[in-house]
Amino acid sequence: MKNPIKKSLIIIVSATIAALIGIGGCIFMQPQKNNTPQKVTEPEKQVKVGKGDQKILIAYFSVPETDNPNKMTKEEENSAIVVDGKVLGNTQYVAMLINEKIGGDIYRIEPKTPYTTNHKALVAQATEEQKSNARPEIANKISNFGDYDVIYIGYPIWWGDMPQILYTFLEMYDFSGKTVILFSTHGGSRLAGTVNTVKNKLGGATVIKNAFSLSRDNMEQAPKRVDAWLKEIGAD
Ligand SMILES: Cc1cc2nc3c(=O)[nH]c(=O)nc-3n(C[C@H](O)[C@H](O)[C@H](O)COP(=O)(O)O)c2cc1C
């Protein structure tokens, strides 16, 4: 007759060995590699984006083609949005949303000679200004520009570029050491390469890559889109 103690001992020892192999197997198993690319939307590091005591300026240019919220033509609707019964330019609206969210000072670039609100005439003028590489004069100057650390700059896309008055603005001030954050509205061209254009112009500034861009056809998404973008860049 077989010894029952010996039999149980064999069972216990075999079970222990099996368990150890199992644990060992787990310990030495190659960790599963996760090959799925993950989208990491980290804020750009070490860049001032307007947190703490950094002083923010939100500068924008915008040309709503009417101030009457009633009976807008298609072109007027394209160039403007009605918020609480008031007509705002598309870029103006985005500037206001940014300002509501992060504070700072808001400044509208005002041309010395106001642009016409007549669509055809505006298009003709913009064409002419781009052709002649004009620098339309700005009426309102910022006396304390040096105080700002972070400058948001907003503009509509005009003929695949910034309106010429933006060139006037960029050439008017010393941007060295400042963070520049761009936002724009458009009719299909998105940013149209303007981030690089500004980067090349403002060598001494840090122009962040993640600029905001919104189609005039999606203006109703502006609040949600602005919030998400401000989070992405670490400003909110
Ligand atoms: C003179 C002019 C030229 C424009 N050129 C372009 C263009 O090249 N690409 C584009 O996507 N949208 C173009 N647009 C559309 C504007 O970018 C768009 O309507 C913008 O949202 C207007 O912004 P605002 O209301 O702040 O001025 C042009 C508009 C005007 C008036």
> How do the domains of the chain map onto residue ranges?
56-232
Q: Is 159 in the pocket of ligand 1 (CB under 6 A)?
A: yes
What pLDDT is stored for residue 60 in this prediction?
A: 98
pLDDT surpasses 80 at 20: no
What pLDDT is stored for residue 14 in this prediction?
A: 58
pLDDT surpasses 70 at 23: no
* CB contact burial 164-176 (16+ within 10 A = b; e otherwise): bbbbbbbeebebe
Q: Is 89 in the pocket of ligand 1 (CB under 6 A)?
A: yes
d(CA 99, CA 97): 5
The CATH fold assigned to 56-232 is: Rossmann fold (3.40.50)
Pocket test for ligand 1, best of 72, 122, 158 (most atoms within 8 A of CB): 158
Looking at every residue in the chain, the average pLDDT score rounds to: 87
Q: Report pTM.
A: 0.83
Count other C-beta atoms under 10 Å from residue 108's C-beta: 15
What pLDDT is stored for residue 205 in this prediction?
A: 97
- Measured from the Cα of 219, ligand 1's closest atom is 21
Q: Is 184 in the pocket of ligand 1 (CB under 6 A)?
A: no
Only one residue has tokens 């403002």, namely: 202
What pLDDT is stored for residue 121 in this prediction?
A: 97
Distance 233 CA to ligand 1 centre (A): 25
Q: Is 79 in the pocket of ligand 1 (CB under 6 A)?
A: yes
**Residue whose CA is closest, atom 29 of ligand 1?**
158
User: Which tens digit of pLDDT belongs to each residue from 56-108?
Assistant: 999 999 999 999 999 999 999 999 999 999 999 999 999 999 999 999 999 99
Distance 216 CA to ligand 1 centre (A): 8
- Measured from the Cα of 80, ligand 1's closest atom is 25
- Measured from the Cα of 89, ligand 1's closest atom is 25
Distance 231 CA to ligand 1 centre (A): 26
Count other C-beta atoms under 10 Å from residue 214's C-beta: 21
* CB contact burial 71-86 (16+ within 10 A = b; e otherwise): ebeebbeebbbbeeee
Distance 80 CA to ligand 1 centre (A): 11
Task: Report the pLDDT averaged over residues 154-181.
Answer: 98
